[in-house]
Amino acid sequence: MRQTSTAASRVRRWIGSLSSRLLVLTLFFVMVAEILIYVPSIARFRVTYLEDRIATAQLASLALTANADGPLTPKLEQDLLDQAEIFAIVLKRAESRVLILGENVLVPDGVSATFDLRDRSVVGSVADAFVTMVSPNRTIRVIGQAIDDPATLIDVVIAEQPLRTEMFTFSRRVLGLSLLISVFTGALVFLALHVLIVRPLRHLTQDMTDFRKDPEGAPMAAPPGGRGDEIGIAQREFAAMQDDLRNALRQKGRLAELGTAVSKISHDLRNILATAQLVSDRLSESADPEVRRTTPVLLQAIDRAIWLCTQTLQVGRIREQKPQRTAFPLREIVDDVGVALGLDDRRPPLWLNQIPSNLLVSADREQLFRVFMNLGRNAMEALSGRSDAVIAITAATLGESVVIEFADNGPGIPEDAHETLFRPFAGTTKSSGTGLGLAIAKDLLEGHGGSLTLHRSDATGTTFRMDLPAKVIGIAVDRIDRQQTG
C-alpha cells in the first residue's frame, strides 16, 4: 500500500514538474506546426486532383476528335466518361461552345458549385477544401485551361465524393505521420532539455534547498562546469554566493565573539583608565612646566578612552549612538587629532591643517574626532618610511554642507581593494589590519547624514572626501569649486 502511495506521489510530482510541461508543450507546438503545414497541403491536394480531372477530360475529348469513323457510340462514350469519372465535358474555343461528351448522360442532382481553376487564391483554396470535406455527395462543375492550348477551356461536371474520399485518406496519412513526428521530435527535445536544463536546474534547486535549511553545514554546491550559457552563469553565481554568505556568516560569528570579548575588556579597561585618570589629575599639580603643559593632552586622551569604553558597554550592538551635536571649530578637532597622533607641521610626516579657523560646524565632537583619528592612522601607516610624507586636511562649504578632503602623498590604494574598502575585515590592504577603521569612519559620517568616499588614489597619493551636511556657523571662506567636488 505504501509503495502504491509512493508511486502515485511520484506521478503527481512528475505531472506538475517542468519536465512534463516541456514534453506537453513540445508535442503541442509540433502539432501546431503540422497543422500549419497540413492546411495548405490539403488545399493543394484538392487543386491537383481537379487539375488531373481537367487533364483526363482533355484526353477523353482527344479520343473523340481523333475518331475518323464518326461519332462515338453511346456505350463507348459512357465508358470514356466512367473511366475519367466525369459526367460531362464541354470545350470552349473563342466564341464557340461544344459539348464533346455527356450529351446523353443525366447529371445527378444538378450542379452544387462551380470552380474556376484560373481564378483561385490561397485563402479561397483553403476554404474550398474544408467545404469539400464537410459536404458529402455534391456534384460540381470545374473549369480549367487545356494543357497544350491555353485559349481552350475545358468545362467538366464531376462527382465530388471521390475527391472527398481521397482528401480524407490523405488527411489520415498526414495525421499519422504528424503524430509520429511529434512523438519522435518531442522525445528528442525532451531528452535534450532534460539533460541541458531540467537536470542542472534540479541539482541547483536541491543545492539551494539544502543551503537554505543549513547555511553553514550544508555541503558546497557541485563545482560548475564550463558552460557559458545562463545555466552555467547561475551555477557559478550560486557557488560564489554560497561561498560569500558562508564567509559573511563566519565573520558575523567572529564579530559576535569579538563583541563579547570587547565588552569584557572595556569593562576592565575602564577601571584601569579610571586609576590612570586619578594619577594624571595629580600630575597636573606638578611644578614642572613641561609636565603641566603635556598633562592636559594626557587627561583628554584618557577621558576619551574612558568615554569610548563606556559607549562600548552601553551600546551592546553594532550601531553607533546617535550624534550629539554641538557647535565647534572644525580646525580644533583636526589639531587635537594631530596632537594625539604625535604629528605637527615641523617634521615628517607633516600634519597640514589647512581648515579655516572660523569654520564652525554643528556635529558630534567625539565621533568626528574618531573619524579623523582613523583616517590619520591609516595615512601614517601608508606613509611609513617616507622622508617627504605629507598629510593635508582642507575644508570648504558647498550649499548647506561642509566638504572635507583628507589627502596624503603615499603610494595609493591598490585598485582591486577599492570595492571592499569600507567593509569590515575586508577593506584592509595589510595582512595585519582589520579593515575596521574606514568602516567605522564611514558609519559615523553616515550617522550624521553625510558620506565618506574615496575621491582619488594613484601613485601620487590618496584623497578621501567627507560630505558633512551640518549646519555651518560663521563662515568666511571661499566656496569649493563645484567641478572639483562633482
> Residue 52: which residues within 8 A CB-CB, separation 6 or more?
none
Question: Which stretch of 120-134, 256-270, 445-459, 472-486 has the lowest confidence by average pLDDT?
Answer: 472-486
Q: If you average pLDDT over each of 208-212, 227-231, 300-304, which comes out highest?
A: 208-212
What local confidence, expressed as pLDDT, does residue 269 receive? 62
The model's confidence at residue 470, banded by pLDDT at 50, 70 and 90, is: low
Q: What mean pLDDT comes out for the span 252-256?
A: 70
Is the pLDDT at 72 greater than 80? The verdict is no
Residue with cell 521530435: 185
Decide if 122 contacts 40 (C-beta within 8 A). yes
Beta bridge partners of 408: 391, 462
- Of 85 and 121, the one with more pLDDT: 121
Residue 470 to residue 402: CA distance in whole angstroms: 7
> Residue 427: which residues within 8 A CB-CB, separation 6 or more?
417, 420, 421, 435, 438, 439
The model's confidence at residue 203, banded by pLDDT at 50, 70 and 90, is: confident
Is the pLDDT at 363 greater than 80? The verdict is yes
Q: How far is CA 338 from the centre of its chain?
A: 49
Report the candidate in 195, 219, 193, 194 with the shortest Cα–Cα distance to residue 207: 219
What local confidence, expressed as pLDDT, does residue 431 receive? 45
For the stretch 294-348, pLDDT in tens is: 667 666 676 666 666 655 544 444 455 678 888 999 999 999 888 878 888 888 8
- Of 436 and 3, the one with more pLDDT: 436
Is the pLDDT at 481 greater than 50? The verdict is no
What local confidence, expressed as pLDDT, does residue 404 receive? 94
Q: What mean pLDDT comes out for the span 97-108?
A: 53
What local confidence, expressed as pLDDT, does residue 485 receive? 38
Q: If you average pLDDT over each of 3-17, 122-136, 209-223, 296-310, which comes out highest?
A: 122-136
Residue 358 to residue 365: CA distance in whole angstroms: 16
Q: Is the peptide bond before 349 cis (omega within 30 degrees of 0)?
A: yes
Edge-to-edge strands, sheet with 113-116:
96-101, 88-93, 152-159, 139-145, 113-116
Chain-wide mean pLDDT for the chain? 75
Decide if 214 contacts 193 (C-beta within 8 A). no
What local confidence, expressed as pLDDT, does residue 210 receive? 79
Q: What mean pLDDT comes out for the span 230-256?
A: 76
Question: Which stretch of 38-52, 126-140, 311-325, 381-395 has the lowest confidence by average pLDDT?
Answer: 311-325
For the stretch 259-301, pLDDT in tens is: 666 655 665 565 556 556 556 665 666 666 766 666 676 666 7
Q: If you average pLDDT over each of 39-43, 98-102, 150-154, 437-441, which comes out highest?
A: 39-43
For the stretch 9-43, pLDDT in tens is: 666 665 666 667 777 777 788 778 878 888 888 99
In terms of C-beta density within 10 A (0-12 exposed, 13-18 middle, 19 or more buried), how is residue 361 classed? buried
- Of 162 and 429, the one with more pLDDT: 162
Per residue, what are the HEC states of the chain? CHHHHHHHHHHHHHHCCHHHHHHHHHHHHHHHHHHHHHHHHHHHHHHHHHHHHHHHHHHHHHHHHCCCCCCCCHHHHHHHHHHHCCCEEEEEECCEEEEEECCCCCCCCCCCEEEECCCCCHHHHHHHHHHHHHCCCCEEEEEEECCCCCCEEEEEEEECHHHHHHHHHHHHHHHHHHHHHHHHHHHHHHHHHHHHHHHHHHHHHHHHHHHHHCCCCCCCCCCCCCCCCHHHHHHHHHHHHHHHHHHHHHHHHHHHHHHHHHHHHHHHHHHHHHHHHHHHHHHCCCCCHHHHHHHHHHHHHHHHHHHHHHHHHHHCCCCCCCCCCEEEEHHHHHHHHHHHHCCCCCCCCEEEECCCCCCEEEECHHHHHHHHHHHHHHHHHHCCCCCCCEEEEEEEEECCEEEEEEEECCCCCCHHHCCCCCCCCCCCCCCCCCCHHHHHHHHHHHHCCCEEEEEEEECCEEEEEEEECCCEECCCCCCCCHHHHC
- Of 397 and 229, the one with more pLDDT: 397
Edge-to-edge strands, sheet with 350-353:
350-353, 390-398, 401-408, 461-468, 451-458
**In the chain, % of residues over pLDDT 90:** 12
The model's confidence at residue 476, banded by pLDDT at 50, 70 and 90, is: very low
Decide if 50 contacts 142 (C-beta within 8 A). yes
Predicted structure pTM score: 0.43
> Residue 472: which residues within 8 A CB-CB, separation 6 or more?
359, 360, 361, 362, 397, 400, 402
Question: Which stretch of 115-124, 228-237, 335-344 has the lowest confidence by average pLDDT?
Answer: 228-237
